[in-house]
A and B are shown apart, each in its own frame.
Chain A
């Protein structure tokens, strides 16, 4: 094979290869300063995806901005002069923060309340000056509670909390602005008061910030764990330095290529180093294992290296190819960041392979022969743990093959049952740990107020002024009534609320929600009055310039996509039962809805990707083994790993979210590796000796050890992720370890039996 020349060349010209590697790595490293971080989940959708295009239009039509929600609670109640004074001061300070859209801030001191006193229509800010007496406090309290637009939006039902809605110019300012708000609140508030900062933009932007920290901590930690593992396995620092370098360089190549080609570093791509490092050392582990096994007999580094190359080159090429193919299968997904992730991990995997077959032999060639002799012969004397137990396992798997086969089929059936129980769901806020500030704020705020997750239900007519038609206005009002009965929906607001409120106030009613007038002129004049008296922006958020489109704000208490999906279905039922006014079209939008859209795309995309990857891997196996039967057997560990792990997800009730979905492609490419090594070596040996049991014993004395070592490296290598403070990383760590464990067990326990019962028939002598 010509590719093998690469390794031969490296063995003969080690210094040249090492210097060339350093130069190339330097070039990739040079790209890093260009890195641009992107945490906007909207970018999970293509820029021309219809729902995204529509959301952009909605944002333009209704002047909608991303919003931070600040909650302030006081256990003694908000309505006391001291607390109100603090709230006023905090609001004042917030208005001074750069990036806050001052005009649209909703709070006690910035929002107008329209009230009626005798013949007088009063439009005043809810709190114009801080009240000094209890009587003044009571007056404010009454006026706030008499306006249904405010209750559960800016004041909690019990009066123990207020909310400030702070629109900001750009989503990526959320983290900075929320930190400023935090400082202000900390300075002003005392023990009986607490503050909470919520809202999707904060969660997302904070995630981006934390992502960096996590990458900074986890990547070195994983590096350290891998280093310790390698040291435990091979006991020679000069030999394990080079696999470590390969791991780091593959990350530099993969990330450098990603950044250099102008891609943004998204939540997904931030995980590339973490994925790549454990994968990158796998081939090196095989090389070192084999080197250790052969060196004592040959006592010559060059001869040993050549023998190792002849033995391992093909399996390493194929395991790397399958891993790369597994990740590239993500390129079939409709979600750009997932696609980028898949492609560049694949590139990193190929880089790791290239480095392994060139850099590793080259660096081994530079270690002095005497040193190798001293170290390797010494370590061989005491049999390792794996060396002691593996032959027994091999024997067991071989003799009890029928029982194991039956058990496996049974397990597979249970796994498939579990698959049917999988619940697809995601929520960016759940990316944080349960007791993180963001999660706490989310819980508290959604208990006290009408929900911090925004979705928009939009209506569009055929002609200008269509929204002012009484039947349209009534329909909006009814739709809101229907929505608010749903458990997950907190508050809804719309232009209909404003019309009803104005009608109420004009007629001198101080309480109640009011009715929609049945004349279009009357509606128009109410709205005109509202514009004449208040902040026109208040209306712009609900209805567009020419009154052709309206927007119902649906505040949801939970941001789970599952909940959004349910509400969407309910509204569909409502519109089927209650005829939509003529010429009106209804459509969902908003960040919560967008999250649901990309998630559905992802589930579909991932399924396609996994099936596509599965087929691609199978074809590779056909080429490698030249036998459909062996190719089929080689797919078993992979099949078991995926079915059992995902089945477990279904049983445990863990949501099938973004990280869980992505890990499937990882498993696809990696769990085939063990089978490739196992079957390829089995095939070679069986051809030689024609004895099944002897072949099996050989496997469990040599190759099975390399496989187990790799399993340890990869499972333990991903384990530091468990300590991450961000959910997706933890999920990836745990779930991946699980997948690999299943894959290893299937390889070591099931494959001997399968080879004994049917597999040997496919090996041509």
Chain B
């Protein structure tokens, strides 16, 4: 009995010792890894401001530009969030604004302001497969998927681009709740940011690949400032770069309202 316990302790000790010192003292589950990853990727800071440049590039090199300022505020007591976006480019849509109130467990609310006819319209759309401003990112890719929608499995741990990463597979609980049938994510062990993600369609074929191309610390918060989503089936890709990223700037809740959709808050949008 005692000997048996002794052996067990030894094995446990050796295991942790092997894993290295910086790690939590307990092996993380797939779901825990994704929870931490979402926190690092979508919820960093209390709020955030950034200028986002999206290049939509077709297979034969044709390019479309989207430039916008994004404001994000995390709600205090829940995982809900509010997003505000102001479009600078293309020039003929300058002044269009877009607001999302993101909820967990139910469909988000979205509003769009169309300056040419001075109209605010609420939009109900399916985030699962609808593209974000014509890019290869879906709304879900931009603001995150509900944690409870998928089943997560830690497949393995491996190095990717010289960084240690968890490889987690996400499979939707309900096939109809997602466009993908399976997603494989490489999550950085240190920052918990996704370094690479592969999306597989219902036929089991790879159709999209996400890559984090450049990561920088901003106010000690590791931030992906360059990312790419490549549609592997049609060769179209979207490159996104974040500039002027700021965290914890004291955004107030009242900015995320119809009034500010019509009149962009000058303080935050230049």
**A→B interface (CB under 8 Å):** 60, 63, 95-96, 98, 101-103, 112, 119-125, 128, 465, 468, 506, 517, 519-522, 524-526, 528-529, 531-536, 539, 544-546
Q: How many pairs of residues, A versus B, come closer than 8 Å at their CB atoms?
A: 105
Contact B130 A468 (CB under 8 A): no
List chain A residues, Cβ under 8 A from B218. none
Contact A535 B201 (CB under 8 A): no
Within 8 Å by CB of A535, from B58, B129, B135, B207, lies B129
Contact A60 B130 (CB under 8 A): no
Contact B201 A525 (CB under 8 A): no
Taking CB as reference atom, which chain A residue is nearest B123?
A: A121
Residue B220 interfacial (CB < 8 Å):
no
Q: How far is the CA of A529 from the CA of B113 in the complex (A)?
A: 9
Contact A534 B130 (CB under 8 A): yes
List chain A residues, Cβ under 8 A from B122. 119-121
Q: How far is the CA of A232 from the CA of B133 in the complex (A)?
A: 78
Within 8 Å by CB of B124, from A120, A520, A524, A544, lies A120
Known: A96-B202, A121-B121. A525 touches B64 (CB 8 A): no
Contact B114 A506 (CB under 8 A): yes
List chain B residues, Cβ under 8 A from A103. 233-234
Known: A529-B112, A535-B131. A119 touches B126 (CB 8 A): no
Residue B195 interfacial (CB < 8 Å):
no
Could you tell me the distance in whole angstroms from the C-beta of A4 to the nearest C-beta in chain B? 62
Contact A524 B121 (CB under 8 A): no
Contact A506 B60 (CB under 8 A): no
Known: A120-B124, A521-B116. A531 touches B131 (CB 8 A): yes
Q: How far is the CA of A501 from the CA of B125 in the complex (A)?
A: 17
Contact A524 B123 (CB under 8 A): no
Contact B62 A546 (CB under 8 A): yes
List chain A residues, Cβ under 8 A from B125. 122-124, 533-534
Residue B210 interfacial (CB < 8 Å):
no
Contact B130 A524 (CB under 8 A): no
Q: How far is the CA of A535 from the CA of B116 in the complex (A)?
A: 23
Residue B224 interfacial (CB < 8 Å):
no
Q: How far is the CA of A536 from the CA of B115 in the complex (A)?
A: 22
Within 8 Å by CB of A539, from B60, B62, B132, B134, lies B134
Q: How far is the CA of A528 from the CA of B132 in the complex (A)?
A: 11
List chain A residues, Cβ under 8 A from B93. 521, 524-525, 528
Taking CB as reference atom, which chain B residue is nearest A519?
A: B116
List chain A residues, Cβ under 8 A from B253. none
List chain B residues, Cβ under 8 A from A533. 123, 125, 130
Contact A546 B64 (CB under 8 A): yes
Residue B90 interfacial (CB < 8 Å):
yes
List chain A residues, Cβ under 8 A from B77. none
Residue B244 interfacial (CB < 8 Å):
no
Contact B131 A468 (CB under 8 A): no
| Mask of B106-147 contacts with A, CB within 8 angstroms, 1/0 | 000000101111010111111001111111000000000000
Residue B98 interfacial (CB < 8 Å):
yes
Contact B60 A123 (CB under 8 A): no
Contact A123 B92 (CB under 8 A): no
Q: A124-B125, A533-B130 are in contact. List 14 more A-B contacts (CB 8 A).
A: A102-B201, A102-B202, A119-B121, A120-B121, A120-B124, A121-B123, A123-B125, A124-B126, A125-B126, A529-B114, A532-B134, A533-B125, A535-B130, A545-B63
Residue B203 interfacial (CB < 8 Å):
yes
Known: A120-B124, A121-B121, A521-B92. A95 touches B202 (CB 8 A): yes
Taking CB as reference atom, which chain A residue is nearest B117?
A: A522
Contact A123 B124 (CB under 8 A): yes
Within 8 Å by CB of B115, from A101, A121, A465, A525, lies A525
Please name 12 pairs of A and B residues whose Cβ atoms are closer than 8 Å in the assembled complex, sorted by A.
A112-B126, A112-B130, A119-B121, A121-B112, A122-B125, A123-B126, A506-B114, A506-B121, A525-B96, A533-B125, A535-B130, A545-B64
Known: A98-B203, A506-B121, A545-B58. A531 touches B133 (CB 8 A): yes
Q: How far is the CA of A102 from the CA of B203 in the complex (A)?
A: 10
List chain A residues, Cβ under 8 A from B58. 545
Contact A522 B121 (CB under 8 A): no
List chain A residues, Cβ under 8 A from B131. 531, 534-536
Could you tell me the distance in whole angstroms from the C-beta of A374 to the nearest C-beta in chain B? 72
List chain A residues, Cβ under 8 A from B130. 112, 123, 533-535
Could you tell me the distance in whole angstroms from the C-beta of A258 to the nearest C-beta in chain B? 35
A102, A517, A528: which has the most chain B beta carbons within 10 Å?
A528
Q: How far is the CA of A208 from the CA of B201 in the complex (A)?
A: 31
Q: How far is the CA of A95 from the CA of B207 in the complex (A)?
A: 14
Contact A532 B202 (CB under 8 A): no
Could you tell me the distance in whole angstroms from the C-beta of A180 to the nearest C-beta in chain B? 12
Q: How far is the CA of A441 from the CA of B125 in the complex (A)?
A: 36
Known: A519-B116, A521-B116, A532-B112. A122 touches B133 (CB 8 A): no
Could you tell me the distance in whole angstroms from the C-beta of B268 to the nearest C-beta in chain A? 21
Q: How far is the CA of A112 from the CA of B125 in the complex (A)?
A: 9
List chain A residues, Cβ under 8 A from B87. 528
List chain A residues, Cβ under 8 A from B98. 532
Could you tell me the distance in whole angstroms from the C-beta of B59 to the nearest C-beta in chain A? 8
Could you tell me the distance in whole angstroms from the C-beta of A55 to the nearest C-beta in chain B? 15
Q: How far is the CA of A481 from the CA of B117 in the complex (A)?
A: 26
Q: How far is the CA of A121 from the CA of B125 in the complex (A)?
A: 8
Could you tell me the distance in whole angstroms from the C-beta of B126 to the nearest C-beta in chain A? 6
Taking CB as reference atom, which chain B residue is nearest A517?
A: B116
List chain B residues, Cβ under 8 A from A124. 124-126
Contact A468 B62 (CB under 8 A): no
Taking CB as reference atom, which chain A residue is nearest B58?
A: A545
List chain B residues, Cβ under 8 A from A121. 112, 121-124
List chain B residues, Cβ under 8 A from A112. 126, 130
Taking CB as reference atom, which chain A residue is nearest B63?
A: A545
Q: How far is the CA of A522 from the CA of B203 in the complex (A)?
A: 40
Q: How far is the CA of A590 from the CA of B172 in the complex (A)?
A: 40
List chain A residues, Cβ under 8 A from B119. 506
A120, A124, A517, A521: which has the most chain B beta carbons within 10 Å?
A521
Q: How far is the CA of A619 from the CA of B233 in the complex (A)?
A: 59
B60, B112, B115: which has the most chain A beta carbons within 10 Å?
B112
List chain B residues, Cβ under 8 A from A519. 116
Q: How far is the CA of A468 from the CA of B64 in the complex (A)?
A: 15
List chain B residues, Cβ under 8 A from A521. 92-93, 115-116
Taking CB as reference atom, which chain B residue is nearest A502?
A: B114
Contact B203 A96 (CB under 8 A): yes
Contact A536 B134 (CB under 8 A): yes
List chain B residues, Cβ under 8 A from A517. 116
Within 8 Å by CB of A465, from B92, B96, B203, lies B92
Could you tell me the distance in whole angstroms from the C-beta of A588 to the nearest C-beta in chain B? 22
Could you tell me the distance in whole angstroms from the C-beta of B124 to the nearest C-beta in chain A? 5
Residues 131-174 of B contacting A (Cβ, < 8 Å): 131-135
10 cross-chain pairs, A with B, having the tightest CB-CB distances, nearest first: A524-B92, A545-B62, A531-B134, A522-B116, A536-B134, A123-B125, A521-B116, A528-B93, A122-B124, A121-B123
Known: A120-B124, A123-B124. A524 touches B90 (CB 8 A): yes
List chain A residues, Cβ under 8 A from B112. 121, 529, 532
Taking CB as reference atom, which chain A residue is nearest B231?
A: A103
Taking CB as reference atom, which chain B residue is nearest A169?
A: B233
